[in-house]
Structure 1
């Protein structure tokens, strides 16, 4: 569920596709000869009101056409794409598990733990997990982040990418992707941003969100149902 982290491990170009209430946006990242990230292409295509509501794709064919226009407008030939789900569509939970387990053992344990936190059958969800690192509270254990979403939510995003001839290789969570992106800026602060208190504001068309971050930990987060569209109307 880690868009920028996945990109750092692969050499192939990657498209980022952002699907919001008012538009779909595309960026293509590459690397220069020194290995630094560079922006190759970017494009935006507006959506009509009601096509996307609260992160749900209400008009699939219309949004798929918009994504196709977006890809064509950008002129890209890259096919691999990273997308993200809104936080409201994903259940996340940090758990602590014994260290030293194999990947297969972790999967079995995560599925067992997930049953306690997900209010619907695991057959209906797409489930993923990531080992965050050693537990700060329990020696020899590891902290693991579980992420789960209704399968149709994931399939809608995948279908939109595939309808435009793209191959979805990453499905992230919007708030997590934002923190990963801003993390690159925090690293440029004095002392590498260690112990710096940073507020991340995102003003969308219908929603404004704020996250307060310190040392990659979210201390506070809140969404407000007010955005740029209301400001424009006012």
Structure 2
């Protein structure tokens, strides 16, 4: 059995920045001892893909030069680039035969051919509904997302050991605090990932995503509101947002409340599209992450509107975060990736 590494680097490539952490493992305890956010000075990423692979590679190289450390890294693809399906398969199919059979019939389970995705599978257990059948989780990632990150990493002189998905990196991190193994078959978790331009809404049950929806709002919407209200450029509005004293500035406070209201309406819509039609699924916990989740008052407003507890994912609750002056919440995905490498 391969020995687990005691040190790992997790890299989260976002729309406007690269977030990198170096994690360490001591027995069953994990710590993050270095973290760095490298801001892009040009448009590098669009919809989770690099505009140009070599340009992303150059920025990765610059970012890693600032952090230093190992050249072996773990990365992730956007949650929206991952598709999962629970298939019921003959229990006699195992190993390579199982993989080959699923790959040959992949179009039956997801709207892509085997040439367009990278596939993996895992036997969950015996099917409850059919005798002599196994329930198998199929996970597929669109190749262009995986390949673009691998090629950019090669240009940067890095070796990618693992390519995960954002949503599974977060699940790995949360697994250090919560025991999801106690969940029964119909228990599920809600993840809300607020990005720059869009927000992802995901429901996970077991190891698979059973519902995904992309909402047309992100942190940039708040920047736009501030820009309109103050009649300033988007760049200046972004500075105002990042340095806002929400309580003392009534215009900024008005923008913040309007943004929160729009975000809450979008999440409510996603919940209402799923919950009434799936009464058998029990939503046990709701987690939020990303820039929008950091807006003061958002978590409280969302919790009140849904009448459910909502938790902002903070790596400091799961690992020892030893980087002063850094907002740990921004590095949740990168932390999950580093931990994933050391498990």
Q: TM-score, normalised by structure 2?
A: 0.56
1:42 aligns with 2:35: yes
Q: CA deviation at 1:68?
A: 1.0
Flag the structure with larger Rg: 2
CA distance in 1, matches of 2:211, 2:111: 25
Alpha carbons 2:54, 2:155 under 8 Å: kept: no
Instruction: Write the mapping of 1:85-100 to structure 2, written as runs, cut at 5 A.
Output: 85-100=77-92
Give the whole-Å Cα distance in 1 for the aligned partners of 2:3 and 2:197: 34
State the partner residue of 2:66. Answer: 73
Residue among 208, 214, 218 paired with 1:227? 218
Change in CA separation of 1:209 and 1:45 when aligned onto 2, cut-off 3 Å: same
Q: How many residues align?
A: 222
Equivalent residue in structure 2 for 1:61, among 54, 79, 82: 54
> Alpha carbon RMSD of aligned pairs, Å?
3.0
- Is 2:127 the partner of 1:135? yes
What is the deviation of 1:62? 2.5
Aligned to 2:176: 184
Q: Does 1:14 align with 2:8?
A: yes
For residues 49 and 210 of structure 1, do their structure 2 counterparts lie closer, same or farther at Cα, with a shift above 3 Å needed? farther
Question: Quick check: 1:21–1:49 contact (8 Å CA) kept in 2?
Answer: no
> Match of 1:159, SS?
helix
Richer in strand (by share): 1
* CA gap 1:135/1:80 in 2 versus in 1, 3 angstroms: farther
In 1, Cα distance between the equivalents of 2:117 and 2:194? 29
Name the SS for the 2:43 alignment partner: coil
- What is the distance in 2 between the residues matched to 1:30 and 1:136? 40
Q: Is the 8 A contact 2:88 2:136 kept in 1?
A: yes
**2:17 pairs with one of 11, 15, 23:** 23
- Name the CA shift for 1:121/1:215 in 2 (closer, same or farther; >3 Å): closer
- Alpha-carbon distance change, 193 to 214 in structure 1, aligned in 2, over 3 angstroms: farther
What is the CA deviation profile of residues 215-234 of structure 1, one whole-angstrom value per residue up to 9, with x for unaligned ones?
76766543312111221332
**Offset at 1:21?**
0.8
> Any conservation in 1 of the 2:84–2:209 contact (CA below 8 Å)?
no
Cα displacement (A) at 1:80: 2.3
Q: Which runs of 5+ in 2 are unaligned?
A: 226-343
- Structure 1 residues not aligned, in runs of 5+: 1-7
SS at match of 1:81: strand
Deviations 1:188-226 (A, max 9, x none): 9xxx87578754332221222233557767665433121
Measured in 1, the distance between the counterparts of 2:182 and 2:117 equals 37
CA drift of 1:55 comes to 1.0
Following TM superposition, by how much is the alpha carbon of 1:35 offset from its aligned partner in structure 2, in angstroms? 2.7
2:157 & 2:112 partners in 1: Cα distance? 32
Does the 8 Å contact 1:84/1:173 carry over to 2? yes
Q: Look up the SS of the partner of 1:123 in the other structure.
A: coil
**In the alignment, structure 1 residue 211 sits paired with structure 2 residue 205:** no
Q: 1:150 to 1:194 in 2, by over 3 A?
A: closer
- Separation in 2 of the partners of 1:87 and 1:100? 32
Residues 202 and 213 in structure 2, CA contact (< 8 A), matched pair in contact too: yes
From the two aligned structures, give the one with the greater helix fraction: 2
